[in-house]
Amino acid sequence: MTRSESVDIGKPVAVPVKEDGDGDGGDVAAHVSRTRAVVRRFRANRSAVVGCALLLLIIIVTAAAPLIAPYGPTQVDISDRLSGPTAEHWLGTDSLGRDTLTRLMYGGRVSLAAAGLAVLIATAIGLPLGLISGYFGGVVDWFLDRAADVLMSFPAIVLTIAIIAAVGPGLTTAMVSLGIVYAPRMFRVVRGSTIEVRREVYIEASTSIGTPSLMILRKRVMPNILPATLVQLSFLLASALLAEVTVSLLGLGALPPTASWGSMLGQAFQEMRSQPWLAVYPGIAIAIATLCFNLVGDGLRDAFGRETRKA
Amino acid sequence: MLRLLSVRLLAMIPLLVIVSFLIYSLIALVPGGPEVVLAGDNPTPERIQEIREELGLDDPFLVQYWNWLTDVLQGDLGNSFVDDQSVWSAVAAGFPVTLSLVALTLLIAAVLGLALGLAAGLRPGSWIDRLSTVTASAFMALPYFWVGMMLVLLFAIQVRMLPAVGYVPFTQSPLEWLEHLILPAFSLATVPTAVVARQTRAAVTSVMQEDYVRTARAKGLHPRRVAVKHVMKNAAVPVVTAFGVEANRLIGATVVIEQLFALPGVGKLAYFSVFSRDFPMVQGILLITAVLIMLVNLAVDLSYGYFNPKVRTS
Amino acid sequence: MTRKKEKDARDDGELLRIEDLHVDFLTDRGWTNVVAGVSFDVGPGEIVGLVGESGSGKSVTSLSVLRLLPNAYSRTPSGHIWYQGRDLIKMPERELRDVRGNEISMIFQEPMTSLNPAFTIGDQIAEVYRRHKGGSRRAAFARAAEMLDLVGIPDAGSRVKDYPHEFSGGMRQRAMIAMALACEPKLLIADEPATALDVTVQAQIVALLSRLRDETGCGILFITHDLGLVVELADRVVVMYAGEVVETAAALDLYNAPKHPYTAGLLSAMPHLGVRGKELPTIPGRTPEPWRMPEGCRFGPRCGHTSEECVVAAPALRIVEAGRSSRCCRTEQLNLAGSP
């Protein structure tokens, strides 16, 4: 970042500008080479690759929990409560004698799936509305943008638990609420990059030929807003994971005996004075998963280069 | 300046109307209606009807909203379902606690974040830059409430240096006030510190390339003065923007942290109200929060004029 | 011993003497030499024009004087930059800061971006004055207004409170000059001060510099790619090509009878009144990239007079007449035309 890009003091050296397939996107060949360039840049980013690999590992391990976990998630072993790390229980047990490692795997399943659900809903709402708003502009855009303003004038977590207060607790409720609360964040990013793409000349050219709007949206706009959307997706996943943990920690999300990283942390907090280590493991798991989402997001953003700005 | 302020304040009104409507509409989401919640277990239909009349729930929805709004405009946010206390006085009681917490958190984030970001941005690629980047990434990823738990574990349970719970007003004892707030504030400060550090680094590295920084050096100024005066003011806009966003997030995070550290603030009140489904309280808190956040955003917007004189004239 | 001699040299009327300056830059291809053994001097109150195309190393040379090249991709140059007997290259940073803006000032090419947009013009002028001369804020602002008045900004007393974006390009460059001269420096380095401006404003800035030299007696090192401007303003001219000095001469001598084919090329490429309808001749080719310097004479591949001796060895800068030198080994055989 320090070297070539800043050698312009009185232009003492003519640094050749290397552009790796920076096509406008209209041309298929340019598109392929741009995608390749993005993949190459992402793979050259060591921390992004590590983050990606770790994330995959976490997903595989948690998804395969029923197959590989040593115990059942609610399997109680009264004779072996509050055990420290042993050969039978690598990470010890809780006050009911449940295996911490097992619950961590099952809990990750719940937490990650919940975060995924929230982001899926946010995208399902925000992406199409953002496209419409950014592409057509006008009254629709004004109205949708104000709606986003309204939703964004609350802290996400406060609005989420307020909805929970009305509808009642439960993980699905919580995540649906969160999805709605996060929708403006996806909306804003998609809208912003759609407006940018729309301004570009080739869209105007397409319109004048008489290509139907829907076709333009699908063929031209969608590929160009993909970078921003993907980047936002990974950052939203990190936020949503944290939000799941927060609501479950507060006892408004995943309810006992279901294990989630949040509910485990909540339970551990209750018993922190007697068994402090129980609070440590879920926290580390959350931190690693969050770090991975962030690393992947940063990596994607850098790989897409100046085409994307974080919203 | 004053005119700009009043224009911007007026512009908030339509948004506030919509926000307040949304807040009031939350009641419509309650399965069975709030009267069922309020009537408790095994209510008789007569009791429910009694409550409906008391709350005016038989009026059309828009009329109910209108009544609520006019009350709010007269400073009456209603009374708690739980103990009939006025919402306004309950929030007012918790407000100093939450304000102290948020202010202290932002102070920590500002000092730490600016220092890390500035040190990194002035020397990109140096060891201090790498240290700052790693610290920021770690702070971004660590869940703040978990940091809180670990800090309690370390400083309150293991070392017994600081209190784990409770609050002492600043007016009573500034030292004890600080002792009670330092752990929660520090746990809340992790993410804002990281965000501020990142934004500062990015802004400073780009400002450092500007011609006027070279001019400042050519004037014989000390590098520290160049950084603090010439670089920081120009790098401030994205940093202040980040502050605004983080303040918004912080207000949400106080709900958890106040619960964790048993601080009697608005966050704890919000949590309790949600749990006991105390709708007037929830609505009141939401409304006040929304107003606060709009004011924070307004302050951020107005600060742009100070940092960038071009904005002021146009 | 030699040190003693060098010290004595400055006493006979030298202000700045650059001696065998080499500067390297970090590029995509690693460390690359961009200034190769540049030497010239500036006397007190003298205006020296430093001329060359972009990429000739003239800006790098001028930035090296106050060591303003960014640390990230440059390293300490070798050679000497003598300023009143002190070598600026070896001077401790702290001492150098007392020279910058005080004894030697600099103005830059882009008046639009060289002033800090977040502070008033007055603040920026007052800042340098207070830094070196001390005094109250009020006195420094009075000095700022006085300087703005000196550089010909009308209503200077109220314009000190303006921000740079409220000034036009030409006025900003005047403000830069006011800032540079606030501490009455002995040397002003002007790095293409007129390039980014309109032609009429260019002429005004050049006239202003000339007037200020007469009024304040400061020496000026004027860097430009425009030979026409230099001839108007400078007493002496130093021509650079591809990191080397190729010719030095008094401005008029150089104008009338260049001693290096590159200078001759530059002169013939200048537009002239009265010569209409003819296409301007240009020098074929372009400045070589610093990592691909030709063998022998660096100008060789673009020169119309190349012979075998030009390729065999790199020619040295040599005195060809009293007070002028050239790096062309065939100077005596060529009869180069001056400006038409």
B79-135: pLDDT as tens digits: 888 888 899 999 999 999 999 999 999 999 999 999 999 999 888 888 999 999 999
Answer yes or no: do A3 and C34 touch at CB < 8 A.
no
When divided into structural domains, chain B yields a total of 1
pLDDT at B205 over 70: yes
Answer yes or no: do B211 and C110 touch at CB < 8 A.
yes
pLDDT score for A9: 33
The superfamily CATH assigns to domain C12-103+186-271+280-294+329-339 is P-loop containing nucleotide triphosphate hydrolases (3.40.50.300)
Q: Touching check for A1 and chain C: CB below 8 Å? A: no
pLDDT at C258 over 90: no
How far is B120 from B127, CA to CA, in rounded Å?
A: 9
Alpha-carbon gap: C254 to the closest alpha carbon of chain B (Å):
32
Would you place residue A305 in the very low, low, confident or very high pLDDT band (cuts 50, 70, 90)? Answer: low
H helices present in B26-143, as ranges: 34-39, 45-55, 61-73, 87-122, 127-141
Tokens standing for residue B273: 């109200």
Q: What is the pLDDT of residues A251-277, one digit of tens each?
A: 888 877 788 898 888 888 888 777 778
- Show me where the domains of chain A are located: 4-310
pLDDT score for C288: 81
Beginning with the edge strand found earlier in the chain, give each strand of the sheet holding C30-42 in spatial order: C30-42, C16-27, C78-83, C86-87
Contacts of B18 in chain A (CB under 8 A): 146, 150
**The most confident of A111-120, A253-262, B237-246, C111-120, by mean pLDDT:** A111-120
Would you place residue B185 in the very low, low, confident or very high pLDDT band (cuts 50, 70, 90)? Answer: very high
Determine whether domain A4-310 maps to CATH 1.10.3720.10: yes
Mean pLDDT of B217-226: 90
Contacts of B150 in chain A (CB under 8 A): 279-280, 283
pLDDT score for A201: 53
Distance of CA B189 to the CA centre of its chain: 12
- Go through C59-98 and write b for each residue having 16 or more CB atoms within 10 A of its CB, e for each that does not: bbbbbbbbbbbbebbbeebebbbbbbebebbebeeeebbe
Q: What is the pLDDT of residues C187-208, one digit of tens each?
A: 999 988 877 777 788 888 888 8
Structural contact between residues A108 and A281, judged by C-beta atoms closer than 8 angstroms = no
Q: What interhelical angle do B232-260 and B174-208 show, nearest 10?
A: 140
Selecting from B149, B259, B289 the residue whose C-beta is nearest the C-beta of A158 gives: B289
Contacts of A163 in chain B (CB under 8 A): 26, 29
pLDDT score for C275: 56
Answer yes or no: do A9 and C70 touch at CB < 8 A.
yes
The answer to the question of residue B44 being in a domain is no
Closest to C154 measured CA to CA, from C169, C171, C132: C171
Least confident stretch, A60-64, A76-80, C44-48, C323-327: A76-80
Residue-range definition of the domain harbouring residue B178 = 87-313
pLDDT score for C76: 83
Mean pLDDT of C198-223: 87
Mean pLDDT of B24-41: 78
CATH classification at residue B109:
1.10.3720.10
pLDDT at C274 over 70: no
Would you place residue A311 in the very low, low, confident or very high pLDDT band (cuts 50, 70, 90)? Answer: very low
Phi-psi region of C84 (alpha: psi -120 to 50; beta: other; left: phi over 0): left
The more confidently predicted of residues C12 and C118 is C118
Mean pLDDT of B132-148: 91
Tokens standing for residue A290: 């969050």
Answer yes or no: do A155 and B252 touch at CB < 8 A.
yes
pLDDT at A237 over 90: yes
pLDDT at A244 over 70: yes
How far is C4 from B314, CA to CA, in rounded Å?
A: 60
The answer to the question of residue B98 being in a domain is yes
How many CB contacts within 8 angstroms connect chain A with chain C? 54
- Model-level pTM? 0.81
Q: In chain B, which residue's Cα lies nearest the Cα of A250?
A: B256
pLDDT score for A208: 66
pLDDT score for A15: 34
pLDDT score for A72: 76
Contacts of A1 in chain C (CB under 8 A): none
pLDDT at C164 over 60: yes
pLDDT score for C221: 93
How far is A134 from A130, CA to CA, in rounded Å?
A: 6
Interface of C to A at Cβ within 8 Å reads 25-28, 32, 34-35, 54-55, 57-60, 62-63, 69-70, 72-73, 109, 191-192, 287, 289-290
The answer to the question of residue B36 being in a domain is no
> Can you tell me the ipTM of this complex?
0.85
The answer to the question of residue B65 being in a domain is no
Q: Touching check for A285 and chain B: CB below 8 Å? A: no
Least confident stretch, A69-73, B248-252, B266-270: A69-73
How far is B94 from B101, CA to CA, in rounded Å?
A: 11
pLDDT at B258 over 90: yes
How far is C36 from A143, CA to CA, in rounded Å?
A: 64
The more confidently predicted of residues C320 and C123 is C123
Least confident stretch, B76-80, B282-286, C94-98: B76-80
Percent helix / strand / coil, chain B, rounded to 5: 80, 0, 20
Would you place residue A175 in the very low, low, confident or very high pLDDT band (cuts 50, 70, 90)? Answer: very high
Answer yes or no: do C176 and B233 touch at CB < 8 A.
no
Q: 3-state class of B94 per DSSP?
A: helix
pLDDT score for C272: 64
pLDDT at B194 over 50: yes
Ramachandran angles phi, psi of A260, nearest 5°: -140, 165
The more confidently predicted of residues C39 and A217 is C39
Mean pLDDT of C116-142: 91
Cβ neighbours for B281, distance < 8 A, ≥ 6 positions apart: B80, B81, B82, B87, B90, B269, B270, B273
Phi-psi region of A135 (alpha: psi -120 to 50; beta: other; left: phi over 0): alpha
How far is C255 from C340, CA to CA, in rounded Å?
A: 9
Cβ neighbours for C158, distance < 8 A, ≥ 6 positions apart: none
How far is B172 from B245, CA to CA, in rounded Å?
A: 32
Tokens standing for residue C268: 């013939």
- Where does CATH 3.40.50.300 sit in chain C? 12-103+186-271+280-294+329-339
- Output the average pLDDT for chain C: 84
Contacts of C109 in chain A (CB under 8 A): 10
Alpha-carbon gap: A6 to the closest alpha carbon of chain C (Å):
9
Alpha-carbon gap: B294 to the closest alpha carbon of chain C (Å):
26
